[in-house]
Structure 1
Amino acid sequence: MIMTNLQQTIAQVLSANRGERVVAFDVDHQKYWLKQAEKNTGFMRILKANPQRALAQEIQALQYLNKVGAPCAELVAWDDDYLVLKDVGATVDQWLQNSACDQQQKQQIINDCAMALAELHALDLVHGRPATRDIGWENGKVRFIDFESKLNIDRLQWNKARDLIIFIHDLYRNTLPQQMVESAVSSYRQHANSEQNWQYALRILHKYRFLYPLFKPFYSIAGKDLLAGLKVFEYWQNNSSDNEVNK
């Protein structure tokens, strides 16, 4: 059997990087990532799941996500102890920190991400942690990486709303201006059937609103995560009028 350039390169990368968790390589001007099964040692063998089983589950999940056209990385090769993904471009986190990227482009990028998240939810899929570091963007194309949720997930609408809250929290964590966050949320809500997820997210924040006065006194000394959390609750307060939280 004649091996393609990609197959030959994968074999070479594997041979040269046995045991290396993640390795990047290029073939014909296209970047790829090779991920090998984790090698747990000592006490971590007890704490962590079986690496081979975890890799097999990840491969199965990616196969399904690619099959249904989910906005995620493309699985191009796999075996019992490795998988290979096509690169998804720079992460949104990197774009937001890029001084050469102006505010208008950053706005377009996070709006694209919000719409991609809505598309993912429309497929009844949940990411689990849609932070900007886990989203790739390239020429308007959004791809999610490192899915943390299972495909057959319970409490689907709750988890979609949780995804949305985590996404908003991460935008605040990146210290984006309020209008940029609002524009991203608006982009999400405009997608078909996404409004109900937004309303459900508001109800979740209403349920946990008691946390805001508990942590507000620490506003001036809050770290990134806490400060972003407080801003999420403030956003809820400003939008609670269009949320039927008392039902």
Structure 2
Amino acid sequence: MQPVSEYFDPALPAPLREALAQALKAPPQRVQRVSGGGEALWLKRTEDSLSLWWRILKGNSRRAFEADRLALKDLARQQLPVPAIRAEGPDFFATTEIGTPVAHLLRGAQNAEELAPALEAAGRALGAFHAAGVVHGRPKLRDICWDGDQARLIDFERYRRDNSSPKLMAQDMLVLLHSLFSLRLEGDAEARLALKGWLSVAPEGMAEALVKRAKALAWLRPASRLALMRRAGSSEMIAMPVTLDWILATLR
């Protein structure tokens, strides 16, 4: 891995540049919003000071950080929907603020109709990655941001070059749908919007690949169904059989 030189976008407003400089002097936070001059950035920093316990739980944080940085540069060159890096150094990078995570919108909206543009755009954005042969790895709705016009993806800590297949693309979409049902268990209309957007852009055969992936994960059903019956366990566990059944019922 080549060392990263320090870079600041010369177009950054002076107040934002100063706010960023001050944030970099403060004790590190993994992710931090920095604003000034009417603009905002998201500053991401390394987690080199994690305890042994957290390193075991989270894995190699430096590798994940560099994978995220590499992805943003690779994908920007391919003109895929990601935020631009506006400043960086060996232990940080800062990206343009690109709107609100779709998960936040889903928590606040009352019905699918008002969410339709964001959900379809989220599906299309993921489909654009897959059409380019790129897998995100964990595209939960909190990792897709909507600015009222465009959806873009963030958090590429699992990004690996040349690591793509229909199976992994289908897994991406399953993760997106599972995150939706984790937030809104009765989310049929919302899921259909995201699926519609994805299928409009994704490569041919991805509907079949998604069904195949859902069938392959049937072994998850017993424990998650028990959680659903008892309304116990995490929302993610409760949502798993709902997601798998929805995929099979919708795309059969």
TM-score surpassing 0.5?
yes
TM-score by length of 1: 0.83
Paired with 1:45 and 1:98, the residues of 2 have a C-alpha distance of: 32
For residue 75 of structure 1, the aligned residue among 73, 85, 95 is 85
Structure 1: which 4+ aligned runs deviate by more than 4 Å?
none
SS of alignment partner, residue 205 of structure 2: helix
Q: Which amino acid aligns with 2:239?
A: A
Aligned residues of 1:164 and 1:198 also touching (Cα < 8 A): no
Which residue identity lines up with residue 63 of structure 1 in the other structure?
Answer: K
Report the counterpart of residue 132 of structure 2 in structure 1: 123
Q: What amino acid is aligned across from residue 247 of structure 2 in structure 1?
A: W
Residues 65-111 of structure 1: CA deviation (Å, up to 9, x unaligned): 21111211211110111111111211111111225x65322122111
Q: Determine which structure has greater relative contact order: mean sequence separation of CA pairs < 8 Å that are 6+ residues apart, divided by chain length.
A: 2
Q: How far does residue 155 in structure 1 lie from its aligned partner after superposition?
A: 4.9
Further displaced range: 119-128 or 203-212: 203-212
Deviation at 1:29, TM superposition (A): 0.9
Give the share of equivalent positions with the same residue, in percent.
21
Give 2:201's aligned amino acid: H
Work out which of the residue numbers 95, 104, 112 in structure 2 matches 1:85. Answer: 95
2:100 is paired with a residue of what secondary structure?
coil
Indicate conservation of the 8 Å contact 2:65/2:157, yes or no: no
Q: In 1, Cα distance between the equivalents of 2:78 and 2:33?
A: 26
| Match of residue 201, structure 1, among 204, 210, 220 | 210
Structure (1 or 2) with the larger CA radius of gyration: 1
Determine whether 1:132 maps to 2:136.
Answer: no
For the residues of structure 2 that align with 1:207 and 1:50, how far apart are their CA atoms? Answer: 30
From 101, 121, 127, the counterpart of 1:112: 121
The one of 170, 173, 180 equivalent to 2:190 is 180
Consecutive unaligned residues in structure 1, runs of 5 or more: 242-247
1:163 aligned partner: 172
Aligned with 1:10 (options 20, 35, 40): 20
Deviations 1:8-43 (A, max 9, x none): 44223212x132333222132111112222132442
The residue type equivalent to 1:120 in the other structure is: F
Q: Name the SS for the 2:80 alignment partner.
A: coil
**Unaligned stretches of 5+ residues in structure 2:** 1-9
